[in-house]
Amino acid sequence: MILEQVPLAQYTTLGVGGPARWFVETSREAEMLAAVRFARLRRVPYFILGGGSNLLVSDEGFPGVVVRITGTGSEWSDESAGRGFARITVDAGADWDSVVRLAVERNCAGIECLAGIPGSVGGTPVQNVGAYGQEVSRTIVSVRALDLEAEKVVHFSAADCGFTYRRSIFNSTHRGRYAIVRVVYSLQVDGVPHLEYRDVKHYFAERAIAHPTLAETAAAVRIIRARKGMVLAADDPDSRSAGSFFKNPVVALAMVPSLAAIAGCRVDEVPQYPPGAGFAPEDEMVKLSAAWLMELAGFRKGFSMGRAGLSSKHVLAIVNRGGSTAAEIVALRDAVIEGVFAHTAVRLEQEPVMLGFAPPH
Supply the residues annotated as catalytic: 166, 244, 351
Please, are residues 103 and 189 in contact by the beta-carbon 8 Å criterion? no
Q: Rounded to whole angstroms, what are the CA distances from 153 to 19, 61, 208, 305?
A: 29, 29, 50, 45
Q: Rounded to whole angstroms, what are the CA distances from 182 to 66, 94, 123, 282?
A: 19, 9, 10, 35
- Max Cα distance, the chain (Å): 63
Q: Rounded to whole angstroms, what are the CA distances from 341 to 188, 296, 336, 353?
A: 41, 11, 8, 21
d(CA 6, CA 57): 13
Please, are residues 243 and 317 in contact by the beta-carbon 8 Å criterion? yes
Please, are residues 117 and 97 in contact by the beta-carbon 8 Å criterion? yes
Q: Rounded to whole angstroms, what are the CA distances from 321 to 35, 187, 236, 298?
A: 34, 38, 11, 20
Please, are residues 49 and 10 in contact by the beta-carbon 8 Å criterion? no
| Position 50, amino acid | G
Please, are residues 91 and 72 in contact by the beta-carbon 8 Å criterion? yes
Please, are residues 177 and 184 in contact by the beta-carbon 8 Å criterion? no
